[in-house]
Amino acid sequence: MKTAFVLLVACSAINPSIPDSTINLGRTADQVQDWVVLSDNVMGGVTKSNLEYTDTSMVLSGNISLDNYGGFSSVKTKFNRFDLSEYSGVHLRYKSTNQRFAFTLENSRNWTQPYFKGELSTTKENTWTETTIYFKDFKEYQIGEPTGNKLNPSILKGIVRLGVITTEKKEGPFSLEVDYIEFVK
């Protein structure tokens, strides 16, 4: 119950009509958005990214540019505390176009420290897809490069940020619409 309460407070996006482990996204009256766009602009890139909300989902879209060593876009929660140690993975409902994406977990506020990515399966263009990524399959990255390590389950107690990031350095328009994120036991 403590974990459910932490998710409720941390994400501010829990819908009481579904399990406490679910983050519903959208702009309906009982949902507050606490997500921010973070793209290659922070390091001199020129990718254009936009975050919008429909009544029932969150949409990250834009145009990836490889100019100035850029090539990524992401959406992340604001820093908070997420104890995911009671869960074995994350389940998402989403649709995407023109890019591959990964779900991310961070356990440090320092961007130079390792973080963890679980790849989302590709979708038929603009078709709703559901996928589960188990934490045992998350890989460690540091400043965008794989370290060869896997996620150590002990870090799940101290996650400070959740996110979704593009995983291809491929120029062009993209879109990712996420309906919900659910942590599974």
Q: Which superfamily does CATH assign the domain made up of 34-184 to? A: Galactose-binding domain-like (2.60.120.260)
Rounded CA gap, 126 and 138, in Å? 25
Q: pLDDT tens across 13-24, in order? A: 332 222 468 888
What SS3 class is residue 41? helix
| Contact of 62 with 50, CB cutoff 8 Å | yes
| Contacts (Cβ under 8 Å, ≥6 apart) of 75 | 35, 36, 37, 38, 51, 58, 60, 163, 164, 176
Rounded CA gap, 117 and 5, in Å? 25
- pTM of the shown model: 0.84
Instruction: Over range 151-178, report the average pLDDT.
Output: 94
Instruction: Over range 129-141, report the average pLDDT.
Output: 97
Token representation of residue 60: 């990250």
DSSP string, 131-155: EEEEGGG-EEEETTEEEEEEPPGGG
Rounded CA gap, 158 and 79, in Å? 11
Instruction: Over range 140-154, report the average pLDDT.
Output: 94
Does residue 147 register a pLDDT over 60? yes
pLDDT of amino acid 33: 65
**Residue-wise burial string across 27-56, b where 16 or more C-beta atoms lie within 10 A, e elsewhere:** eeeebebebeebbbbeeebebebeeeeeee
| Contacts (Cβ under 8 Å, ≥6 apart) of 154 | none
Provide, rounded to the nearest whole percent, the portion of the chain with pLDDT above 90.
64
Domain range annotation of the chain: 34-184
Closest CA to 20 of 35, 33, 2, 37: 2
| Least-confidence region, from 7-16, 50-59, 149-158 | 7-16
